[in-house]
A and B are shown apart, each in its own frame.
Chain A
Amino acid sequence: MTFAVATLVVSVAVLLAAGRLPKGAQNWVLPIAVAAILVAMWDAACVLTGTEVFPSPLDTVLAFGELIESQRLWGDATASLFRVTWGFLLATGVGVPLGLVVGWSTRTFRALNPIIQGLRPISPIAWIPIAILWFGIGDGAGVFLIFLSSFFPITVGTMAAVRNISLVHQRSAMNFGVQGLELFRRVVLPAALPQIITSLRIALGVAWLVIVAAEMVGMETGLGYLINDARNAGSRYDLVVATMILIGLIGILLDFLIRRLERFDEVRWGYSQR
């Protein structure tokens, strides 16, 4: 309790004094101070309520150590990441070319857009029974579900990006005789790329949400399964919370990695202006 109070006092003091720090340092100091306050309040709440089930911050750290030691963490995290990676890559490989073609050709758009829009609102979670029916319990079903959940944002985002290509750029291409495949390579794809990358980013975020839910419902490995398993095997809420935090951290890491795509010279124009 004294620890919680001390942390709280120090963090609030830091927050109040942070205005004097340079901007760059504030970007780090402010969120860390807020996080410290939240952890202190969490700790205080555990002490004040005298809970037997809900873990304190310290319990959570210890649980984290236990997970690492038992080697389960590594296996479950890679299982989740494996499904997300392959499902996402497959969805990108299919969704981007499809989106380019459907976005560019008005007739294909008319034919396919209503169907895509009709399938899109179906939650990937609703597909779980069918995924298991087709692929059994395991990676296949996971990859399939992630494929589905990434495919729609990627395809729809790419389609919209292509349909947004400015008339001036289309006419420039026509004027200089750029057509056919070359048109896609030189104009359609690069013009749409910034918005495609944004849709990839959204899709990856969704994929990471979906895989945890899918593993909780219909799989026997992965971080989602780990959460379920920890609760079922003796209400180990310390393991549950530790896993949740890890899921959050991996999510941040994935977003950080995919955002690096936004830095290439070929796409920076799409984010800095307008």
Chain B
Amino acid sequence: MSVPSRSGDPKVVFEGVSKVFDKKGEPLQVLQDVDLTVAEGEFVCLLGPSGCGKSTLLNIAGGFERPTDGRVSIDGEEVTGPNPKRVFVFQEYGIFPWASVWDNVVLGVRDRSKEDRHRIVDEVIELVGLKGFERAYPMELSGGMKQRVEVARALAVSPDVIYMDEPFGALDSLTRLTLRSELLRIWNERNPTILFVTHDVDEAMQLAERVVVFSARPGRIADIVEVDMPHPRDIGSPEYGRVKNRLYELLGVTHMI
């Protein structure tokens, strides 16, 4: 099931990706034959129940894990390891607690000229709304601010692909909403390709142009649902309700309690 890209050229292409882990001697099939084409500049959410292999798939795309079968390529080139042009935003905080906000954000551009470094870091810190916190340490920041630092660190390298693994999962629901709309603003402004993993139907609905729904383990693509609604999305509209029902149906859970 190769799905044609929605718009733009193919950017990230998964072909027959499978992953088998060795769990105490027993083989554990986590992903089975995943085919997916993500277009350049597209915002795609990977939605599925916990443990279905979403993180594993993202780690394979990010070059941190190798698939047992199949391949992932970006711009036609097979992914064999991590690459600073494609940045991962982690589920738990990946920023360094021993470094200040500024020193964290500069990580990806540390080899640039001093002038560049300051211009870029100041710009992305402003972009994520952390101006004035450059000298603060992560432990002095709230969870939402830490995730902003992580996003700023990713944006500093002007990545063409951003992988986000439940980046707002640990935050309270209001902060989550704010950060989602800011992420959309940044995506509009810079237009990177975003692969965003979540198990939250509403989050997927609010962010994605397309939602890739996974079945429970072994993770397989159950279906791909387009969310053909312009931003800002009216979460009270019939169209929103219809797509949401479809997603719940694919996940196999009731949406009426």
- Enumerate chain A interface residues (CB-CB to B < 8 A): 166, 168-169, 171-172, 174-178, 186-187, 190-191, 193, 265-270, 272-273
* B-chain residues with CB within 8 Å of residue A187 when the two chains form the complex: 96
In the complex, the answer to whether A171 meets B88 with C-beta atoms within 8 Å is yes
In the assembly, what is the distance between CA of A272 and CA of B90, in Å? 22
In the complex, the answer to whether A175 meets B62 with C-beta atoms within 8 Å is yes
* B-chain residues with CB within 8 Å of residue A191 when the two chains form the complex: 96, 98
In the complex, the answer to whether A177 meets B84 with C-beta atoms within 8 Å is yes
In the assembly, what is the distance between CA of A168 and CA of B93, in Å? 8
The dominant DSSP class at the A interface is helix
Identify the 4 closest CB pairs spanning chains A and B, nearest first: A269-B97, A190-B98, A172-B94, A168-B94
Task: Contacts A269-B139, A272-B139, A273-B139 given; indicate if A171 touches B82 (C-beta within 8 A).
Answer: yes
* B-chain residues with CB within 8 Å of residue A190 when the two chains form the complex: 96, 98-99
Q: Which residue from chain B places its CB closest to the CB of A190 in the assembled complex?
A: B98
In the complex, the answer to whether B99 meets A175 with C-beta atoms within 8 Å is no
CB distance from B185 to the nearest CB of A (A): 24
Task: Contacts A176-B157, A269-B138 given; indicate if A171 touches B90 (C-beta within 8 A).
Answer: yes
- Enumerate chain B interface residues (CB-CB to A < 8 A): 62, 64, 81-84, 87-88, 90, 92-100, 107-108, 137-139, 157
* B-chain residues with CB within 8 Å of residue A177 when the two chains form the complex: 82, 84
| The residue from B82, B92, B98, B137 contacting A175, defined by CB atoms under 8 A apart | B82
| The residue from A171, A176, A186, A273 contacting B64, defined by CB atoms under 8 A apart | A171
In the complex, the answer to whether A168 meets B137 with C-beta atoms within 8 Å is no
CB distance from B92 to the nearest CB of A (A): 5
* A-chain residues with CB within 8 Å of residue B83 when the two chains form the complex: 175
In the assembly, what is the distance between CA of A166 and CA of B98, in Å? 13
In the complex, the answer to whether B98 meets A172 with C-beta atoms within 8 Å is no
Q: Which residue from chain B places its CB closest to the CB of A268 in the assembled complex?
A: B139
Task: Contacts A268-B139, A269-B137 given; indicate if A176 touches B95 (C-beta within 8 A).
Answer: no
Q: Which residue from chain B places its CB closest to the CB of A178 in the assembled complex?
A: B107
In the assembly, what is the distance between CA of A138 and CA of B83, in Å? 57
Q: List 14 A-B contacts (CB under 8 A).
A: A166-B92, A168-B93, A169-B94, A171-B82, A172-B88, A174-B64, A175-B84, A176-B87, A176-B157, A190-B98, A193-B98, A265-B100, A266-B99, A270-B98
